[in-house]
Structure 1
Amino acid sequence: MNLFSFTAHFGTEEDCRIHFKEQRDLQGVICTKCNSKNHYWKKDKWSYECKNCKYRTSLRKGTIMEFSKLSFLVWYKAMFLMSATKKGFSAKEIQKQLGLKRYEPVWSMVHKLRTAMGNRDSMYTLEGMIEFDEAYYTVESSEIEQEKGIRGKGAVGKQNVAMMAESTFLENIETGKKEKHVRFFKAKVLQGHDSEEINEIIQESIDNQSIVFTDKSTSYVDIADFVELHVMEKSSKETTKETLKWVHIAISNAKRNLLGNYHKIKRKYLQLYLNEFVYKLNRRYFGEKLFDRLIIANIKGLGN
């Protein structure tokens, strides 16, 4: 959706409310008291009333907007900005674009949207041929971390992240050459660097009938227990260019994206920024429909 189209459709608070209700009606409303799916719409209260127990559900309840005092119009503008570009906006820039005085509500809104993006992508597992690798990302260290001088995988200023890419070989009919093509991605911030955590991520993120490609890290020794086949190759330039091609492209692009758009990402919020990057990457062909998908992520944001 471009700026002209957004302004034409969502120029007022009522426009946004009506549209949000239409989208929520399509997703369905479940009564939190009796689990009924049948409701009346109380227009004077802007709420749903359960036909079974008469419990009322506000238009925001159960969505990521539930406890926000910001208007629907502000939320819609923020979602438009966040879906309008691949690179993204910082909360400070969104505050500036929206002309709001207080930073904290905008910061909270943006991170809730990033949480919703992550929740949507967590519903799906990767399958087929999967490239798996890890990389360090630059983060802002806390004063405690700086004082302790932490080293290794949790080193000061660095955070280890597992990146996964769902790829497959396709043959060029004209040349007969086989090249890897990519579909979907996942990114998970690692708390440490041990096989137990890696195993948990594999089970959560990858279908057990998949083929997983990695380097020969000792943390990957048990992956074969959770997938159809685990192929390990020694780290080299050739491995990076061929076997783990797409996962390394994603790692590189994510680093440029985060460093270029956000200033001093705190370690504890890195996963949220990665949520946004991967969400957009997985929907890179959606075009103007990305805004509509973000509305749905808003509605389903609490894992409903």
Structure 2
Amino acid sequence: MNIFSFTTHFSSEEACREHFKSERDKIGVVCHKCGHTKHYWIKSRWSYECKNCRSRTSLRSGTIMQGSNLSFLIWYKTIFLLSATKKGFSSKEIQKQLGMKRYEPVWAMVHKLRKAMGNRDARYSLEGMIEMDEGYFTIESSEIEKANGGRGRGAAGKSNVAIMAESTQLEDVEIGKKSSQCRYFKAKVLDSHEAGEINETIQEAFDETSIVFTDDSTSYVDISDYVELHISEKSSEELTKETLRWVHITISNAKRNFLGNYHKIKGKYLQLYLNEFVYKLNRRYFGEKLFDRLVIASITGL
């Protein structure tokens, strides 16, 4: 969606609220009290009333807008800004674009949307042939400073991130050249290098019939217990450029994206920034539909 179509369709609070309701109606409302799915709509209250127990559910209830005092128009403008470009905006820039005086509500709103993006992608498992490796991302974190004895303001550390790519290996039988195509990605901040955390990540993110390609790290020794086949190779330049090509392209692109858009990222929020990057990457061909998908995520991604 470009800025002209956005301003045409969502120029008022009423228009945004009506659109949000129509999208929520398609998904359905479940009564928080009895679990019933049939409701009346009470427009004067902007609430749903359960046909079974008469309990009411507000339009925002059960969505990421629950408890927010910001208008639907502000939320929709922010969703538009986050979905308008591949690179994204910092919370400071969004505050400037919205013309809001206080930074804190904008920061909280943007992080709620990033969390919703992550929750939406967590519903899906990677399958088929999967590349997996780890990258180190620069962060600013008091926890890292204490652990490493860092001193002074701005002391930075590194956070380890598992990057996973659902790729398809292709080979031209005539010339013997290999290539790959990639569909979906996942990224997870790791607290340690231990095999136990890698195993949990595999169970959460991969279909058990998958074929997984990695280097020969000792953290990956148990992967074969959770998937159909695990193929590991000794780390080399060829491995990086061919077998694990997509994960290393993704790591490089993510680092450039963060460096170009954000002044600093604290370690405890790194996963949220990764959520946004991967969410957009997985929907890189959606074009203007990305706005509608993010509205849906804001309803279902609590």
Instruction: Give the match for residue 138 of structure 2.
Output: 138
SS at match of 1:260: helix
Identity percentage of aligned residues:
72
Structure 2, unpaired ranges of 5+: none
Map of 1:297 onto structure 2? 297
Query: Secondary structure of the residue that 1:293 maps to in structure 2?
Result: helix
Aligned pairs (5 A) from 1:116-265: 116-142=116-142, 145-149=144-148, 157-170=157-170, 177-265=177-265
Shift of 1:177: 4.5
Q: Which residue identity lines up with residue 208 of structure 2 in the other structure?
A: N
Label 1:150 to 1:193 Cα distance change in 2 as closer, same or farther (>3 A).
farther
User: TM-score normalised to the size of structure 2?
Assistant: 0.96
Aligned mates of 1:287, 1:173 — CA distance in 2: 35
TM-score (norm 1): 0.95
Deviations 1:161-217 (A, max 9, x none): 000000002356997754200000000000111000000000100011000000010
Task: Note the 1:11-22 alignment, pairs <5 A.
Answer: 11-22=11-22
Match of 2:105 in 1: 105
Does structure 1 retain, via aligned residues, the 8 Å contact 2:141–2:268?
no
How has the CA–CA distance of structure 1 residues 174 and 38 changed in structure 2, closer, same or farther, with 3 Å as cutoff? farther
2: CA distance, partners of 1:9 / 1:108: 26
| Alpha-carbon distance between aligned partners in 2 of 1:171 and 1:249, rounded to the nearest angstrom | 20
How many angstroms apart in 1 are the aligned matches of 2:168 and 2:149?
39
Unaligned 5+ residue runs, structure 1?
Answer: none
User: Cα distance 1:173–1:71, how it changes in 2: closer, same or farther (>3 A)?
Assistant: farther
Query: 1:132 touches 1:213 (CA, 8 Å); kept in 2?
Result: yes
Structure 2 contact 33–55 (Cα < 8 Å) conserved = yes
How many angstroms does 1:259 deviate by? Answer: 1.0
Equivalenced residue count is 298
Seen in structure 2, the aligned counterparts of structure 1 residues 176 and 40 have a Cα distance that, compared at 3 Å, is farther
Give, in whole Å, the separation in 1 of the partners of 2:29 and 2:171: 46
For 2:239 and 2:46, the matched residues in 1 are separated by 57
Distance, in Å, in 2 between the alignment partners of 1:275 and 1:150 is: 29
SS at structure 2 position matched to 1:287: coil
Which secondary structure does the structure 2 equivalent of 1:159 belong to? strand
C-alpha contact (below 8 Å) 1:150/1:156 kept by paired residues: no
